[in-house]
Every structure is written in C-alpha cells, then in structure tokens.
Amino acid sequence: MSDGSGVSRGDRNRNARLARLRAAVPVMNPIAGIDLADSKQMVVVTDHESRVLARRVFRRRAWELGAALEWAAARAAAAGFAG
C-alpha cells in the first residue's frame, strides 16, 4: 500500500541508513568504498555527499589491497582532503 508520497519503504530505509552512515563520518574525511570480489576489486573515493572523486579497478585479491588503499589516500589528498 502506498502513502501517496511516491517514496517507498525501501527508499525511506535506504535514506535512513545513509543518514546514519553520514553521521558517523566527519565532513572533513573522504570515504573509500571497496567492492570486494574474487580477483577484481572496484575502489571508489567519495566525499561526504557521495560525490565520486575517483574510481579504479584493481586486479588483485582482496588481501592484496595495500596499493589500492595508497591510491585512494593519494586521490583524496589530491582532492583537498588532509592526509
């Protein structure tokens, strides 16, 4: 059943989850998101408003992500975030 707002319960739950995550991360910190797979990892660096600053695929295993984290830190520093 719809409440007429055009926003589903799933949308409300997602928005609430994102609000909780944003409250946990200070505004001056970038966010590095990593999509873990078997041998190909996607790394995305975003700001507090979820705007993508950089994105890259690493063809490494999940336990070999040191280079990916260094890359993410460099991209965040280049975007103006303190290291």
- The pLDDT tens digits of the residues spanning 9-62 come to 988 898 898 888 888 888 888 989 899 888 899 999 998 888 899 999 999 998
Q: What are phi and psi of 31, to 5 degrees?
A: -125, 130
The Cα–Cα gap between 37 and 16 comes to: 27
pTM of the model: 0.72
Whats the size of the chain, residue-wise? 83
Q: Per the structure block, which two tokens stand in for 68?
A: 């990916």
57's tokens:
């695929």
